[in-house]
Amino acid sequence: MNELTKLQGNATMSSLELVDIINKVREQEGKAILRHDNFMVRVKEVLGEDALNFQGIYLDSMNRQKPCYHLPKREAHLMVMSENYKVQAAVYDRMVELEGPPKQMTRREMAEYQLKLIIDLEEAEARVESLQITLDENHQWASVKRMEKEHKRSFKWQELKAYSLVNDYEIKRVFDQNYGEVNAYHADVWLAVYGVKV
């Protein structure tokens, strides 16, 4: 899907094209495929209210209008910061291709451009770090995926959910890069059901 548009004179990539790039790399590595609807959830999580500025529409294979995003360079890079370097490089290369050949710059313009790139990268890294802190800062809640990774064993979400509902524990929804959102269960629930600490 080659969804090139221009947003205020700048090249953009559609959320469809970003998902295609991510999935090409994931397929090569034998990883789970990312669905476009889950990516749309991630855009809202990562960009917050700014996501509204990039909303668009595309026609699906049945000629129905569906929502998508048209993301400029900065936002496209933010959306793949949690992916591996192959994905990040592919998105960067595609954006460079869409922007066209660079104009000849003076040394001053080159220095200003490089400084802007460094600042953009630092801001993007800070945003990703902030999101990671937000997701992990509350050690009173944990998803099954997180706990399975930490404890190297499997857990059944059904038991955690049942215990939470019976004992009036809130079940939180948290961002997950593969599934969009997943349930997170309180530390007391983990301790009661499986005897593990969050």
- Give dist(CA 103, CA 177) in Å, integer: 37
- Highest mean pLDDT: which range of 76-85, 175-184, 186-195: 186-195
Helix (H, G, I), strand (E, B) or coil at 110: helix
What does the block give as tokens for 77?
């890079």
Residue 8 confidence (pLDDT): 36
Q: Which residue bears the tokens 């900065």? A: 74
- pLDDT over threshold 90, residue 76: yes
Does 17 have pLDDT greater than 80?
yes
Task: Kindly indicate the confidence band of residue 112, based on its pLDDT and cuts at 50, 70 and 90.
Answer: confident
Residue 2 has pLDDT above 70, yes or no: no
Which residues partner with 11 through β-bridges?
A: 6
Using 50, 70 and 90 to split pLDDT, how confident is the model at 9? Answer: very low
pTM for the predicted model, two decimal places: 0.49
Q: Is the model's pLDDT at 6 over the cut of 50?
A: no
Report the pLDDT value the prediction gives residue 3, as an integer from 0 to 100: 39
Q: Which of 85, 82, 18, 25 is nearest to 54 (CA)?
A: 18
Pairwise pLDDT comparison (59 vs 163), residue with the higher score: 163
Residues with Cβ within 8 Å of residue 173, at least 6 apart in sequence = 181, 182, 183, 184
Q: What is the pLDDT of residue 128?
A: 72
Mean pLDDT, to the nearest integer, of 60-89? 90
What are φ and ψ of residue 195, in 5° steps?
Answer: 70, 30
Mean pLDDT of the chain: 84
Q: How, if at all, do strands 180-186 and 10-14 pair?
A: unpaired
